């Protein structure tokens, strides 16, 4: 199970030109924003990547607006792990559980998840916070990531797993986030 002190939330390539072309873009954005806000309450670090931002644009504003001071890691490789800056930043957090959201499930998310698993990380794919341009490719990506050894979770499942206890200020804040 994931815990706040061992988890990092990785948001992969939710960028302007691509974010609006994927399957169910509104649900994707809503779930990622819930995860961001919950991770902030629970003090889980967040790492953001952008695939070739000169061509695909930057991370969409509704997400970046919640991540003040968080500078996305630019990359050209489909896997985040193919970028030295990403690997340095990832290792600096010293977290072993990587909670993944983003796009596209069958390309960048898939390749990153598999390489993180190869490096010995525990990968937790948030199935309702990933997407692709087609639902078929989204589903294929999820199946292949799970087959490679990742755990598959949902936005609410991950949030409540990180929270663990139904009391106190954190519970109240998380309850509000989940209900929105």
Name the residues annotated as catalytic: 13, 75, 108
Distance, CA of 30 to CA of 138 (rounded, Å): 17
59, 28 Cβ separation under 8 angstroms: no
- Closest C-alpha to 30, from 40, 41, 19, 21: 19
| Chain centre distance of CA 1 | 17
Q: Secondary structure of the chain: what % helix, strand, coil (to 5)? A: 50, 20, 30
């Amino acid at each position: 199970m994931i815990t706040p002190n061992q988890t990092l939330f990785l948001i992969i390539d939710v960028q302007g030109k691509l974010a609006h072309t994927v399957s169910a873009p509104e649900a994707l954005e809503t779930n990622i924003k819930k995860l961001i806000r919950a991770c902030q309450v629970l003090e889980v670090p967040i790492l953001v990547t952008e695939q070739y931002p000169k061509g695909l644009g930057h991370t969409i504003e509704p997400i970046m607006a919640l991540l003040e001071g968080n500078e996305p890691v630019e990359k050209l490789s489909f896997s985040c792990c193919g970028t030295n800056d990403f690997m340095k930043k990832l290792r600096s957090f010293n977290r072993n559980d990587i909670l993944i959201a983003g796009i596209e499930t069958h390309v960048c998310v898939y390749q990153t998840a598999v390489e993180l698993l190869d490096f010995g990380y525990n990968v937790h794919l948030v199935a309702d916070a990933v997407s692709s341009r087609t639902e078929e490719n989204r589903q294929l990506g999820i199946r292949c990531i799970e087959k490679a050894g990742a755990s598959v979770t949902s936005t609410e499942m991950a949030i409540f797993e990180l929270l663990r206890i139904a009391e106190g200020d954190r519970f109240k804040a998380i309850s509000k986030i989940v209900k929105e």
